[in-house]
Structure 1
Amino acid sequence: MRKNNLKNLWIGLFLFFVNSTLIADNWPNWRGPKANGVAPNGNPPAEFSENKNVQWKINLPGSGSSTPVIWKDEVFILAAEKTGKKAAGSEDETSNERRNNNSQRRQRPEGRSSERGSSANRNGFGGNSFNREEMMKRFDKDGDGELNDAERQAMRDEFRQQFSRNRGSDRRSNERSRRGGRSGSGSSRGGFGGGRKPTEEYRFSLISYDRESGKENWRSIATTAIPHEGHHRDHGYASASPVTDGKNIIVSFGSRGLYCFDMKGKIEWKKDFGDMRTRNSFGEGSSPTLHENTIVLLWDQEDDSYIYAINKKNGKIKWKRERNEATGWCTPVVTTHKGVTQVLVNGSKAVRSYRLNDGKLLWQCSGQTGNPVPSIVVDKQNAYAMSGFRGAYIAAIKLGGDGDLTGTESVAWTANRGTPYVPSPLLSNDRIWYLAGNNGILSVRDTKSGKSLIEGERLTGISGVYASPVSASGKVYIVGRNGSIIVLKDSAKFEVLASNKLDEKFDCSPAIVGNQLFLRGKEHLYCIANN
């Protein structure tokens, strides 16, 4: 009897070791095998360019902000492509009637004022002629797609000067211009929020590429649909990353459904959760999480918000819990602490922990800012949650708590400066790395004490950051939106190992497997490796 028990123990340990090693040799999901941005067995080059250490570079179809996931010899990406098919009646929006109306406005009779708001028209913002693209081109100096406090102030100052110059000529026109410039009146048509509801059909696909050559293996179309709402101009309809266990590939296209594919691209099942309504039509982006045979899907929106646990084998809902949250874009993280497997989710009202097997709320902790995008990272003791929209906050929360942990000893430490809006943090070697807002300004803290190790260090050459940092073999990679990639030494002191530049715009987080670094750009997918 004892021999059999001992034999079973050794078999179990062997299988656990093999499975852990297999996962570590892949990048199966958003933020990597441990969901913390670290590639345990990775070692890509520190130096590269368009002409150096590029194993392959391929054109990508459509658009998408999702991270590539890698399993063995395959790289999987999601894409949303316009098909060219218009919705019934959508042509009316660009009909002759509209063109005629525009023509009539341009052909005003002489003597009739055509100078109303003319200064605003020339400057591309204010009044009825609010032009967001022109405004962003002029004032978005760091190129991150948003206006920070300094950039907003520069816009206001210039507008005030314009208003003062034109005050005597047309007070009412300039008052309307002032309201448009300050409040962002273009939000109803894109503005600082999302874009218009599309009138064209999109094709939503999962694509497999050969890891060594970049050659396309296969392409599977999940669905075609006309999305029910727009998205932020830097966002898209393929922003959630897929997840795989080597048996199936789980894909969320949000309001277009949750899909389970086999490893050859065949759809095994689909689950529809209805249409999500996001804040300001910013769009959807939370990735599914997979733990053994349970898929966890976050559905935080402006209508009723939920978190779901779904059976991977058949798509049936295991449990569903209502969440008192508005739109969020973080991805759930699963961890096991003292025998209890729990799901951790960021939120503007609270960070929450749910028991995986039944959805019971274990604990919650308030303090985050609004619009939480960064995903939580965990180690053996703590969960590290942060947010950086209209404020800054990071909290190290002990995993063994119960109930409401806000302001209790279960919060190991907090900080309130320099936290990210979009990029998620990197957790490596008892240090947590994060960026300020969407900018190339780096801070690093000791995870045990919360002590600041690197504070507000500006990364020269980087202009805007959406991608989350990654680490491998003692190197930290930080990818800028402008194609600049800084490689730092993974240590408590700031040390730049290399500064690289690629001819691409990057909003997607990188992935690392072995000696390869995968970078998804706006138009191309790169595989970086030592030649």
Structure 2
Amino acid sequence: MLSPRVFSALLLLSTFCNQLQASETWPEWRGPSGQGHADAANLPVSWGEDENVAWKTEIVGRGWSTPVIADGVVWVTTATHVPASKEEAKIRRKTSTNSMPLTISDSASFRVVSLDLASGKILSDTEVFTEIDPQMIHVDNSYATPTPIIEDGRLYCHYGPYGIVCVDTATHKVLWENRTLRVKHENGPGSSPILWNDVLIIHCDGIDQQYIVALNKQTGKEAWKTARSGKMHDEPQMKKSYATSLVADVNGAPQVISPAADWVYAYDPDTGKELWKLDYGQLGFSNSARPVAGHGLVYICTGYAKSHLLAIKPPSAKDENPEVVWKSTKQVPNVSSPLLIGDELYFVSDNGIATCLDAKTGESHWTARIGSRFWASPIYADGRIYFFDRSSTTTVITPGREFKKLATNKLTGEQLSGAAPVDGSLLIRTSDALYCLKNK
């Protein structure tokens, strides 16, 4: 039997190894915790085209998925498409209920690209499937916006209604695919999958149907599927959501916190059983922010029309209802996700106003203009917060109850996806290239 001292030493070593592994891996959208936190160290504070750029590699096609990293390899999804003729585009636009500016294609190729983390060299560029006459998408979106998940030599790549595939990271071969999760978006895919034990959990919230589904990660076959139960607005465009769920500990048990249009739901991750739901209390649709959780609360951004940030206390018993402890209505983002760091909650509005609130009370500590257009979600890494403007300008600040800006950094192209930090490297994807930033 191990002595208490030896046991404590082994426990500390195990914790250190887990932290080391986490700092070398960025497995999914918003990192290992799903809440935008990284254990990575030695990240750059300042950079530019001629400063602290270790490498810059162009990626074929277009995609807004965040890079994922494991075993010294960077993975991104992307898609190429053949534009429809003017005549065909005109015909298809007439059948659409969408008045937004759209990209209309004759065909699309859905791809996975891997790169060497040290050099930026492309190791593989694999087409996983194609689609004839894909759905129209918003001109700001891409066919490869959901972020993949990497785990134990497998890469799970989701392309919204077009399909999800599992790729062997050693051979680059497709192990399975599922192309049955068809919903109509008309603005393109957005929700990223999450991994819980042996299942991948995916949001499917279109204008025609809305549900959440879990697939067996070994086979791609359906494990459970649950329809959204809340009453929705009649307007089809107001039924959509692009959000990604979060598995949070609620009263000692895991729950899938799942924002959809009009409602936030909680489900049992093992069975898909609905545990509770809460009406936003005002219009909320086309939301894409991922929840964060802490202090016994979950924090939800409700999305378009007028985004509110809700601090929700989940019910602790079956006969209780969820409670909105506080809410914020000022400069709440429609698209990007909040960050919870200690007792403070940080976020940036679509038009560039950053805010710090007390996470327990909603009291405002500060607001500051840091840019003009934001979609990408911020991250907390190496003791700093990184906010990403669509102009590929990153504002770096020190977290705290006073606004302290450390740097403003500019790259070329447009940035709609978040960054991926691992020890010594910060990966940023723009419309021009994938960058690896390092201190020199």
Give the TM-score normalised by structure 1.
Answer: 0.74
Inter-partner Cα distance in structure 1 for 2:279 and 2:114: 41
Q: 1:304 pairs with 209, 213, 228, which one?
A: 209
Shift of 1:440: 0.9
Aligned partner of 2:261 in structure 1 is: 348
Shift of 1:470: 1.0
Residues 1:514 and 2:403 aligned together: no
Q: 1:377 pairs with 282, 292, 303, which one?
A: 292
Structure 2's unaligned 5+ residue stretches are 233-238
The one-letter amino acid of 1:266's match is K
Residues 1:211 and 2:211 aligned together: no
Which runs of structure 2 are paired with 1:128-277 in the superposition (5 Å)?
Answer: 192-195=99-102, 197-199=104-106, 201-264=107-170, 265-277=172-184
Aligned partner of 1:63 in structure 2 is: 62
Inter-partner Cα distance in structure 1 for 2:327 and 2:376: 24
Aligned partner of 2:310 in structure 1 is: 395
Inter-partner Cα distance in structure 1 for 2:15 and 2:208: 42
Inter-partner Cα distance in structure 1 for 2:23 and 2:276: 30
The one-letter amino acid of 2:341's match is S
Inter-partner Cα distance in structure 2 for 1:16 and 1:355: 28
Aligned partner of 2:236 in structure 1 is: none
**Quick check: which one's strand share is greater?**
2
Inter-partner Cα distance in structure 2 for 1:64 and 1:393: 28
Aligned partner of 2:79 in structure 1 is: 80
| Distance of aligned partners of 1:310 and 1:190 in 2 relative to their CA distance in 1, 3 Å threshold | closer
Inter-partner Cα distance in structure 2 for 1:491 and 1:273: 46
Contact 1:336 1:342 in 2 (8 A): yes
| Distance of aligned partners of 1:339 and 1:81 in 2 relative to their CA distance in 1, 3 Å threshold | same
1:436-462 Cα shifts (integer Å, max 9, x gaps): 2x111111112122221123x211xx2
Q: 383-392 vs 65-74, which deviates more?
A: 383-392
Inter-partner Cα distance in structure 2 for 1:272 and 1:14: 43
Contact 1:230 1:282 in 2 (8 A): yes
Contact 2:164 2:178 in 1 (8 A): yes
Q: 1:424 pairs with 325, 331, 337, which one?
A: 337
Inter-partner Cα distance in structure 1 for 2:346 and 2:207: 31
Inter-partner Cα distance in structure 2 for 1:374 and 1:351: 12
Residues 1:322 and 2:322 aligned together: no
**Quick check: which one's helix share is greater?**
1
Inter-partner Cα distance in structure 1 for 2:358 and 2:424: 28
The one-letter amino acid of 1:29's match is E
| Distance of aligned partners of 1:31 and 1:227 in 2 relative to their CA distance in 1, 3 Å threshold | farther
Inter-partner Cα distance in structure 2 for 1:27 and 1:322: 31
Contact 1:435 1:443 in 2 (8 A): yes
Contact 1:194 1:283 in 2 (8 A): no
Inter-partner Cα distance in structure 1 for 2:260 and 2:87: 41
Aligned partner of 1:168 in structure 2 is: none
SS at match of 1:270: strand
Contact 2:59 2:433 in 1 (8 A): yes
Inter-partner Cα distance in structure 2 for 1:92 and 1:353: 45
Percent of counterpart pairs with the same letter?
Answer: 30
SS at match of 2:161: helix
The one-letter amino acid of 2:305's match is R
Contact 1:431 1:446 in 2 (8 A): yes
Shift of 1:335: 2.2
Shift of 1:528: 0.8
Shift of 1:487: 0.9
The one-letter amino acid of 1:490's match is P
Please identify runs of 4+ aligned residues in structure 1 that moved more than 3 A. Answer: 7-21, 90-94, 186-192, 399-406
Q: 229-238 vs 345-354, which deviates more?
A: 345-354
Larger Rg over CA atoms = 1
Aligned partner of 1:497 in structure 2 is: 406
Shift of 1:513: 1.0
Contact 1:187 1:193 in 2 (8 A): no
The one-letter amino acid of 2:369's match is R
Shift of 1:503: 2.0
Q: 2:193 pairs with 288, 303, 306, which one?
A: 288
SS at match of 1:314: coil
Inter-partner Cα distance in structure 2 for 1:55 and 1:42: 16
SS at match of 1:498: strand
Shift of 1:9: 11
Inter-partner Cα distance in structure 1 for 2:95 and 2:341: 42
The one-letter amino acid of 1:223's match is F
The one-letter amino acid of 1:289's match is I
Aligned partner of 1:451 in structure 2 is: 363
1:318-374 Cα shifts (integer Å, max 9, x gaps): 111001462100111112334422111112321111011111111212226232221
Inter-partner Cα distance in structure 1 for 2:96 and 2:279: 34
Structure 1's unaligned 5+ residue stretches are 99-185
Inter-partner Cα distance in structure 1 for 2:42 and 2:94: 44
Shift of 1:221: 1.5
Count of matched residue positions in the alignment of Structure 1 and Structure 2: 427
Contact 2:395 2:409 in 1 (8 A): yes
Inter-partner Cα distance in structure 2 for 1:346 and 1:311: 22
SS at match of 2:21: helix
SS at match of 1:23: helix
Contact 1:363 1:401 in 2 (8 A): no
Aligned partner of 1:136 in structure 2 is: none
The one-letter amino acid of 1:61's match is V
Contact 1:242 1:287 in 2 (8 A): yes
Contact 1:189 1:195 in 2 (8 A): no
Shift of 1:397: 1.6
Aligned partner of 2:235 in structure 1 is: none
Shift of 1:56: 0.5
Contact 1:431 1:444 in 2 (8 A): yes
Shift of 1:228: 2.9
Q: 2:273 pairs with 348, 360, 365, which one?
A: 360
| Distance of aligned partners of 1:20 and 1:319 in 2 relative to their CA distance in 1, 3 Å threshold | farther
| Distance of aligned partners of 1:501 and 1:196 in 2 relative to their CA distance in 1, 3 Å threshold | closer
Aligned partner of 1:28 in structure 2 is: 27
